[in-house]
Amino acid sequence: MLGMVVFSLGCTVEASKLCFHLRQPWGVLVGLFCQFALMPLTAYLLATGFSVQPAQAVAIIIMGSCPGGVISNIITYWMDGDMDLSIVMTSCSTVLGLGMMPLCLYVYTHGWVEAGHITIPYLNMGLTLLTLVTPVACGVYVNYKWPETAKTILKVGSVVGGLLLLVVGIASALLYKGSWHADTSILIIGSVFPLIGYSAGFIIAVILRQPWQRCRTIAMETGAQNVQICSTVLQLSFPPEQLLLMFTFPLIYGTFQLLNGLLLVSVYQIYKRTYLRRKPDVSETNMAFEIDPQPVSSSTPNNGSILTPKSKSSS
């Protein structure tokens, strides 16, 4: 079912736009740094600071090491972000997750694994992620060969797959009733972790002088982790007695990442409707930090003036 959603996501990726971001990968690299360096480190610091149980700490690290989720694409759209960058980042992080998730677990969970006598099933995790990478590649190929068919697959697959995942999530929550007796520390971590990701991703993108549109996109991709992948990895990799302690966290994280995301969307939409409407002549191109240099062609007029590209507002 998760593969259906991921396949539909791959149908939105155009090969030409994918190649563009891969040829100019600065925005993608910034996002991947936040995804696989910032988030696992934050998860480790939160788990250490709140002194959670070993099984819960492993679940927190897995959540922090997951690739970007589909919800990040939706929130990015509502916040007028760079949709091409968002989809490319989600796809790239899913592919890189094959190696980065096991690596992050190996680096950050060593002490908890020994203390809790927990066995990290790296092979099962790798196979789970591999089954998710394949649908993404197939979706990109379908969109390249049959773009109209890809649009239909996107509409049907995303809706049907999303509903099936919702049913599975509810059924899993009912099956693991004991997991709902969560500690206060788990509730606190699950509520602040997504907001830390959103905020830190945006701040790092600003420091690295990315345009505002990309800053919002990188923020969403950083804070909105793929909860479905985390839940799938946990259920396919760990025995039921450990799942009672682990399964609560991705549910809490998923709930608060959605609530925090909707809060940020509301703030942005209010800002857009009040401040930006009063200044219709101000475009985000002019507010961007970086300006791409434009080569001067040989057909430049001889009157000494140089033609410059128009901004969005003038075009």
Q: How confident is the model at residue 64 (pLDDT cuts 50, 70, 90)?
A: very high
Supply the pLDDT for residue 193.
Answer: 95
SS (H, E, C) 215-242: HHHHHHHHHCECHHHHHHHHHHHCCHHH
Supply the pLDDT for residue 305.
Answer: 43
User: Given a cut of 50, is residue 151 above it in pLDDT?
Assistant: yes
Tokens of 51: 């002194």
Q: Is residue 61 part of a domain?
A: yes
User: Given a cut of 80, is residue 9 above it in pLDDT?
Assistant: no
User: How many domains are there within the chain?
Assistant: 1
Supply the pLDDT for residue 173.
Answer: 64
Q: Is residue 293 part of a domain?
A: no
Q: Is residue 306 part of a domain?
A: no
DSSP labels for 56-88? HHHHHHHHHHS-B-HHHHHHHHHTT--HHHHHH
User: Given a cut of 60, is residue 40 above it in pLDDT?
Assistant: yes
SS (H, E, C) 105-141: HHHHCHHHHHHHCCCCCHHHHHHHHHHHHHHHHHHHH
Which contacts (CB < 8 Å, 24+ apart) does range 13-19 have? 13/87, 13/88, 13/91, 13/136, 13/139, 13/140, 13/143, 14/84, 14/143, 14/144, 15/140, 15/143, 15/144, 17/84, 17/88, 18/88, 18/91, 18/140
Q: Is residue 295 part of a domain?
A: no
Q: Is residue 251 part of a domain?
A: yes
pLDDT higher at 231 or 164: 231
User: Distance of alpha carbon 137 from its chain centroid, rounded?
Assistant: 18
Q: Is residue 197 part of a domain?
A: yes
How many Å is the maximal CA-CA distance in the chain? 79
CA dihedral of residues 74, 33, 24, 82 (deg, nearest 10):
20
Supply the pLDDT for residue 308.
Answer: 42
Q: Is residue 250 part of a domain?
A: yes
- Which of 201, 185, 192 has its CA nearest to residue 57? 185
CATH number of the domain that 165 lies in?
A: 1.20.1530.20
Rounded Cα gap, residues 98 and 115, in angstroms: 26
- For residue range 166-186, what is the model confidence (pLDDT) as tens digits? 676 677 667 656 555 678 899
Domain that holds residue 95: 2-287
Q: Is residue 267 part of a domain?
A: yes
Supply the pLDDT for residue 302.
Answer: 47
Q: What is the percent of the chain with per-residue pLDDT over 70, rounded to a whole number?
A: 75
Supply the pLDDT for residue 116.
Answer: 57
Rounded Cα gap, residues 280 and 303, in angstroms: 32
Q: What is the pTM of this model?
A: 0.72
- For residue range 95-123, what is the model confidence (pLDDT) as tens digits? 788 788 888 888 898 778 766 566 666 77
- For residue range 236-255, what is the model confidence (pLDDT) as tens digits? 777 777 777 788 888 888 88
Rounded Cα gap, residues 20 and 134, in angstroms: 22
Rounded Cα gap, residues 96 and 147, in angstroms: 26
Mean pLDDT of 189-199: 93
